[in-house]
Structure 1
Amino acid sequence: MQNDANVVPLNKAAPGQSPTSTAGRLPAALVTVRDKVVLQLRQAMQALFDNADDTLFEMADRATTNTEQSAFFEAMRDLRLKRKGIERGFLHKLVENFANLNQYEIGKAPQLDAVSFDNLSLVQNDELEESVAVDAMVNKVLSRDGVALAHLTTRLNTLVSRKVEDKTNPMGPRPLCEAFLEACRGLGVEIKVKLIILKLFEKYVLSEADQLYAEANHSLVAHGVLPELKSAPLRRSPQQQQRTAQSRSASEYVAEGAALADGGDYVDVEQQEAFGTLQALLAQARGSLAPRRAMPADAMPISSGDLMRLLSHLQSHLPVQSIEEVDVRQQLDHLLTRVSSKSGRSRVVGQVDEDVINLVSMLFEFILDDRSLPDSLKALIGRMQIPMLKVAVLDKTFFSRGSHPARRLLNEIASAALGWAEQTDLQRDSLYQKIEQVVMRLLNDFVDDPAIFAELLEDFTSFSGDERRRSELLEQRTRDAEEGRARAEMARQEVEHVLNQRLFGRTLPEVVVRLLQEAWSKVLLLTCLKHGIESEQWQSALATMDDLIWSVEPHEDPESRMRLLEMVPQLLKSLRDGLASAAFDPFSTGEFFSRLESLHVQAFQRFKQVEEAQVAEPAALLDDGIPLLDEEVEAVPAGPAMVAVVEEIVLVAPGETRAPEPEELLAEDDESLRKVDELRVGSWVEIQEDEEHKLRCKLAAVIKPSGRYIFVNRTGMKVLEKTRMGLAVEFRRNAVRLLDDALLFDRALESVIGNLRRLKNA
């Protein structure tokens, strides 16, 4: 076929990548898409670099200072020298992202770079500008081509093992931007020039994303991947076609910034068709949704503009009480009755606008009934119904475009509110205050310009992003603390095991038992945590403990005496070094060593007395074989205080209790245990603590060695800890309810469509 020449081999697309390392792991349909994408993006990158010189030269020509002009000329030179490397690096990263679709990523500990405090603020400002520019570019692509990208992502999920989202789709705007930035890391240019290069990337690469997604979707459909998922054919307005054919200078593009990519000067036919589908479903259910009084035959529909004015009137007179007490359709009927009486002619809402009203009403009925939203926030979110209705009247793509700012704002608010806990003092909660500000701003300022939603969306996502970063930081600290606690618990159990193995059932000097249990156990614990039980240090600590026990046991043979003489100096040194490394109390250490010295002295005295007794044994008998009286032999010093270890040693950390909570035991095949095992880290749940109190929390970690489930609140602070069995018992008594964290608007729309279909088939 002619198109075969367009297929780029993997080793050509990304030098250094093994041709066999990933190609066999990707489905054939995806390999075809990957190769075509590589070819398209290679051509786009060539166009970028071909035009970069002209752009930078034009910018240098417009420079107002010699320094600025020199910076542009130096950037031109640097870009020429590194052009091939950037292109190869970008395509290599693209191929790598495709390859990772069928591989599970192994988490790595974050690497901390060295920080120069002299340049810290400068670096942060540059990174901030770069991040803002990338976010703007990504948002434009999502706004313009979000549906096509969503279809592409859905198709990829049927082909690969990893969960793919728009933000992780190798062809998505963010991965493409990140791959390009990574390839440009070696450029020695200042941030102003870097932003210009980013704008060139937007113009020559991202501006063609619609074509990229259309061809990729078409290719996957040709391979039989979700052909029923219909994507609208690529349509461009004459203005856009002219813009592509007669490319303006990139410096003009840079100056215009967001204006060019936003476009929006053609109608998305697919989105209009989506609203038509909803209307068709509504047509089957009209009358049962909102029965209306009979109207005269000559009733005149009001225009959408008049409807907007009526809605604005309702919006400005919205009662303070819960929106659940306000029926927007009923309020509109009252206003229309008043208008009709004044004009002398019956006025009604047009059919299209009435369908919009019914759809939005059904959406908010779902939202206000959604159990995942806290009740205190439902009242606030419910007050957004009229602003959302006005947006839907103005723009029917509100129902079909997932990237619509109004929809995204509602979803962001609902997502942030998922972990919100009921409080008595609402005004002291920053999230409640922020949502209230957004709602009041809409009610007070929104008339007919939907741009306010994009503005509020940006402001709220910035706020929620800051909140999320703070909570993630605390959540990570909570996880680290719990994992450290689990490691410490395992180490304590190991130390308990070796102590009981050596001491349980034996009778030893009391000072030695105390030394091992109170002091040397800390040395063992620290060694286990730092080096592990397979390490040389651990074996050495065990050997020191064994030598100490042997040194205070009774021995009579000469070999034992020689061994003790050789052992004691090194034994004492090892004990002293170990206790010092564990920062054990020096005063207690001195007391232990003083008493230990007495034990060893007594041991040597016993050796001496045994030898003397063996030498003096013949002389100690009379001629008639009668032994001397006991008092005639030198008395042996009294032995040390001895203690029998008859109970297993249990080590308890300060402030902790080791008594396990009694809990009900369930069979391994119990349904409640299955529900626990299906819980995933990051899942939100609501737990009924008692009749009046509910706790909303997120599963932050599962500590596998101990089987503990750690839950945190929305700030990342630990609020609950349960064992696997204890959590299963809570499930069994229906005290745990999973919270749906899917996008609120999408769930509401899915529910509305499902209800309409049921009404149609009824």
Structure 2
Amino acid sequence: MNDNKDNKHTSNNDKIVNFQNPEANLGQILPKIHKIFITGLKPSIQKYYDKLDDTLFDMAEKAETNDMQTQYFEAMRTVRKKKELMVRKFSDNIQYAFKQFKKGEFDYIKDNSKDTDTLNTDGLSLVEEKELDKKLAVTNLIEKSNTYFHNQLYALEKRFTLLAGGSDLKLSQIPISPHVIVHAFSAPLDLLPIETNTLLIIIKLYERSLIENLGKPYEDINQYLIKQGIYPDIKFTLPGQQSNAPYYRQPEITGAQQPISHDSGQQTSQNPQPQGYRQQAPIDDQTYQTILSALNERHQDQITPVAVYDANVVNSALSLLQSQELQQMNAGGSALSPKQIKEVLIKRIQELDVDDGQQRNVNKTDEDTIDLISMLFEFLVEDRNLPAPIQVLLSRLQIPYLHIALKDRRLFSNKNNNARKLLDVLAKASIGWTEESDRNNVFINKVESIVQHVLEHQQDDIDFPALIESFQAFDAKNKKKTQVIEKRTFEKALGEERIFSAKAKTAEILETKMKKYQLPKQVTDLLLTPWANVLTLIHLRHHEEPDVIEPYVKFVDKLIFVSVKDKKKQATKAQVSHVCDFLSNGLRLVAFDERNVKQKTADLYRLLLQINGLEQVSDQDHEFVLPQEAFRIKEDQDEQPEIVHFIANKKINDQDRQVEHIEDDYYQKAQDLSVGDWIEFVDADQDGNIRAKLSWISPISHKRLFVNARGIKVTDKSVDEIADDFRTGNAVKLDQVPLFDRAMTAIADKVEKKTSDTPSEEHNESAQ
């Protein structure tokens, strides 16, 4: 069986790799890769040093002691002096790595301490003092970068292995790996005579620059190698391809993921239930039964008995793999892909098995379990609902979960299985995680600690309920802080909406009532500035009390009536006095001082008496303003009433994006969104996606407020806007159904379809 598989693997490679002569083409391909890489990274290094200068200056300004301030200023001057040298050394180190790779020598790190032309005696004395702290900081940065770019590096590792003539490369031996980049950056730092704590700050600051700028060169290089025919069909998809997909795709099941079958789901007597498995009452997963029914045909034609590997050999091989996975995780190495694990496991089993000349295979039931776990974790690493760094971490659980499933196959059938619940709880809590929302890495470090705990212990010794309880307590504490910020966010949004609504009502009142009348400039200015503020304030304070608001609205009509000249019936002195008295009271509401109130009231009183023929007209002509002029923005006048700018801006940039109202399935989907639902919005400007939770629905505008995992506002949208985003693929609702349930459903659909489409082919392949 294994020989056939090896032959099949070889033929597949022949089909997907059109790279016939690596040696002949290496001279063309490597320089192109180097050009793409250095073009992508060198400008970011230059910008980094420019930004570092500003950062050190800011830190010096805020330093608590004179010594610290002096230290930062000295570091700033040193960096300025040697910036061009550092950038050149970085480029030289990268070029050196490519030269070594071409020669087949994979030791890329040059010793810059030998550069006697630039190194001074102070630098030599500092190297020994800083070396340990520097190594720790560098290792941490490499590990984070390996985790963040896990999928791209997986593809690059495969492709550079082919470029190296098939040599089995480690991740650190790829000339564009984080290991090489970080050392290319950090090695020249030995040339800087600076204190250790400043050196560590410089390395830490480089972390953000690297994460922000490394993805594009990696993607470009992978795309270039694909065009060259070098592994164009690697299934471990790149995060950029996954996250930018306009809709959710279920994982495909191909090759090594052939449909499988299982026993009745009861554990064998050889594999007692682990102590840490305190199970609740079982809730059968009917999907698992569907998978069994669809896949039992796999072994129907296999009637010849074959010797199988001893269970102890399988357990030993798994324990060995788990130990290696833990070492890889601690060293910042890449995890094996879901498909690779079966191949490596079979190889380890063969190595551990006693060679007595008898051909053995893995027990068919165990092989089915291995394949099902492989499909489960392949679904996990392709699941759009999980952020890529979380996928990388959780994918490391495949080996221990395979160990669990081989001992207790109720992992698949019992929804209350605690190992299953742990994976579901971690996945659900991670749905809105982003690096930006977890700036101190508190959340991802907690997930990593749980993964590490599982890898460090034998399955019998893991207390899954305690792990679940601990994580849920941690998550609840985090959410409590977030809820406080979230509450402030929607309270602020509500306040802003109330202000906007009050201004909109004020604008509508003034526009409607003033549009027919030519009014004195003094009256126009009063209505559009102080009285607009009065109306806005009254609407804010008494938005649910129309009886209180009404007199202030009617005042506008009364003031307009007494201000219009040449009317049929002139106003009386009593009417003028009433208007002026009401104006005085209103102005006091918006904090006009008494002197200004009296001045404006007296000026208005004289004006109105003259307009209505109640007092002799003065020699000075009164300026009148046409209604269309009152609300027109004048370029030569900066100090125009705020309400005029509000009206103009509202017409140009309405809060509601002008989208067509279409009552289709997308509209219904947007309408049905509930508080707590997570959405992924495509952010074209930042070349990435944004995860946001529906936090609040406005009782005023009915807009939906979306916040990030920290409770901070991301955007607010109307139902029509959200529906349009769904319709155009600019938004996707993230599925909060438990991960295990979604995976089992997807696997069942694929397996049933494959079984119904090609039953004879399945049987033949299983019989081989």
Normalising by structure 2, we get a TM-score of: 0.53
Report the alpha carbon displacement of residue 581 of structure 1 after superposing the two structures with TM.
2.1
Whether the 8 Å CA contact 1:652–1:658 is kept in 2: the answer is no
Name 1:170's counterpart in structure 2: none
SS in 2 for 1:719: strand
Larger radius of gyration: 1
Q: Which amino acid aligns with 2:574?
A: R
Structure 1 residue aligned with 2:406? 393
* Alignment-mate amino acid for residue 715 of structure 1: R
Q: Which residue of structure 2 aligns with residue 317 of structure 1? A: 324
Partner of 1:409: 422
3-state SS of paired residue (1:285): helix
Are positions 1:443 and 2:455 aligned together?
A: yes
Other structure's SS at 1:646 match: helix
Verify the 8 A CA contact 1:285 1:756 in the aligned structure 2: no
The number of aligned residues is: 463
Cα pair distance change 1:272/1:653, threshold 3 Å: closer
Looking at structure 1, the residues matched to 674 and 288 of structure 2 have their Cα atoms a distance apart, in angstroms, of 36
Among candidates 531, 536, 541, match of residue 547 of structure 2: 536
SS of 1:694 mapped into structure 2: strand
Q: Superposition RMSD on alpha carbons, in Å?
A: 4.0
**8 Å contact 2:499–2:540 — kept in the other structure?**
yes
Instruction: Give me the whole-angstrom Cα distance separating, in 2, the residues matched to 1:502 and 1:442.
Output: 72
Query: Given the alignment, which residue of 395, 399, 420 partners 1:382?
Result: 395
Q: CA deviation at 1:321?
A: 0.5
Task: Give yes or no for contact 2:338–2:378 (8 Å, CA) kept in 1.
Answer: no
Query: C-alpha distance in 1, partners of 2:542/2:731?
Result: 40
AA in 2 matched with 1:747: R
Q: Which amino acid aligns with 1:489?
A: F
Does the 8 A contact of 2:288 with 2:748 survive in 1? no
1:693 and 1:268, CA in 2 relative to 1: closer, same or farther beyond 3 A? closer
CA distance change for structure 1 residues 593 and 420 in 2, over 3 Å: closer, same or farther?
same
Q: How does 1:425-574 map to 2 (within 5 A)?
A: 428-451=440-463, 453-532=464-543, 535-554=546-565, 560-564=571-575, 568=577, 570-574=578-582
User: Which letter does structure 2 place at the counterpart of 1:415?
Assistant: K
Between the aligned partners of 1:300 and 1:676, the Cα distance in structure 2 is 54
Deviation at 1:682, TM superposition (A): 3.3
Matches of 2:320 and 2:387 in 1, distance apart?
29
Deviation at 1:519, TM superposition (A): 0.7
Conserved 8 A contact 2:376-2:743: yes
Q: 1:588 to 1:438 in 2, by over 3 A?
A: farther
Of 678, 681, 693, the match for 1:684: 678
- Confirm or deny: 8 A CA contact 2:573 2:614 kept in the other structure: no
Alignment of 1:39-118 (within 5 A): none
Structure 1 residue 381: deviation in Å? 0.9
In the TM superposition, residue 450 of structure 1 has moved relative to its aligned partner by 3.6
Distance in 1 separating the partners of 2:568 and 2:485: 62
Distance 2:435 2:518 in 1: 60
Match of 1:642 in 2: 624
- CA–CA distance in structure 2, aligned partners of residues 592 and 269 of structure 1: 80
> Cα–Cα, structure 1 residues 588 and 445, in superposed 2: closer, same or farther, change >3 Å?
farther
The CA deviation at 1:751 is 1.9
1:444, CA displacement in angstroms? 1.6
Q: Which residue of 1 aligns with 2:662?
A: 668
Shift, 1:508, TM fit: 2.2
Alpha-carbon distance, 1:410 to partner: 0.8
Distance 1:578 1:681 in 2: 41
- CA-to-aligned-CA distance 1:703-757 (integer Å, 9 cap, x gap): 4754644322222211123445544444443222222221111111122233333
Contact 2:309–2:361 under 8 Å retained in 1: yes
Q: How far is 1:665 from its partner?
A: 4.7
- 2:282·2:414 contact (CA, 8 Å) conserved in 1? no
Distance across 2 between alignment mates of 1:718 and 1:656: 26
Select 1:418's aligned residue among 399, 411, 431.
431
Partner deviation per Cα, 1:206-253 (whole Å, 9 max, x = no partner): xxxxxxxxxxxxxxxxxxxxxxxxxxxxxxxxxxxxxxxxxxxxxxxx
TM-score (ref. length: structure 1) = 0.53
SS at match of 1:651: helix
Query: In structure 2, how many angstroms separate the alpha carbons of the residues matched to 1:736 and 1:715?
Result: 20
Q: Does 1:598 align with 2:586?
A: no
Larger mean CA deviation between 498-507 and 744-753 belongs to: 498-507
Matched, 1:715 2:696: no
Instruction: Report the Cα offset of residue 646 of structure 1.
Output: 2.3
Structure 1 residue 645: Cα displacement: 2.1
Query: Retained in 2: the 8 A contact 1:302–1:348?
Result: no
Indicate how the Cα distance of structure 1 residues 465 and 586 shifts in structure 2: closer, same or farther if over 3 A, else same.
farther
Farther-moved stretch of structure 1 (351-360 vs 742-751): 351-360
Residue 755 (structure 1) aligns with: 750
**Are 1:350 and 2:351 matched, yes or no?**
no
CA contact (8 A) 2:694 2:704 kept: yes
Q: Distance in 1 between matches of 2:314 and 2:443?
A: 33
**Paired residues for 1:358-377 under 5 Å:** 358-377=371-390
Worse-matched range after superposition: 400-409 or 679-688: 679-688
The answer as to whether partners of 2:692 and 2:708 remain within 8 angstroms in 1 is yes
Q: Distance in 2 between matches of 1:270 and 1:693?
A: 39
Give the 3 Å change call, closer, same or farther, for CA 461–269 of structure 1 in structure 2.
closer
Residue type of the partner of 2:434?
A: A
- Unmatched segments (≥5 aa) in structure 1: 1-261, 289-293, 610-634
Match of 2:588 in 1: 580
- In the TM superposition, residue 312 of structure 1 has moved relative to its aligned partner by 1.8
Q: Deviations over 1:69-110 (max 9, x none)?
A: xxxxxxxxxxxxxxxxxxxxxxxxxxxxxxxxxxxxxxxxxx
CA contact (8 A) 1:697 1:719 kept: yes
Q: Cα distance, 1:511 vs. partner?
A: 1.6
> How far apart are residue 406 of structure 1 and its match?
1.4
- Is this contact kept in 2: 1:282–1:355, CA < 8 A? no
Between the two proteins, what is the percent identity of the paired residues? Answer: 26
Unaligned runs of 5+ in 2: 1-275, 632-641, 760-768
Secondary structure of 1:482's counterpart equals helix
CA separation of 1:348 and 1:273: change in aligned 2, threshold 3 A: farther
* Mapped partners of 1:485, 1:744: distance in 2: 38
- Is the CA contact (8 Å cut-off) linking 2:387 and 2:430 kept in structure 1? yes
Change (3 A) 1:647 1:711: farther
Q: CA deviation at 1:588?
A: 5.2
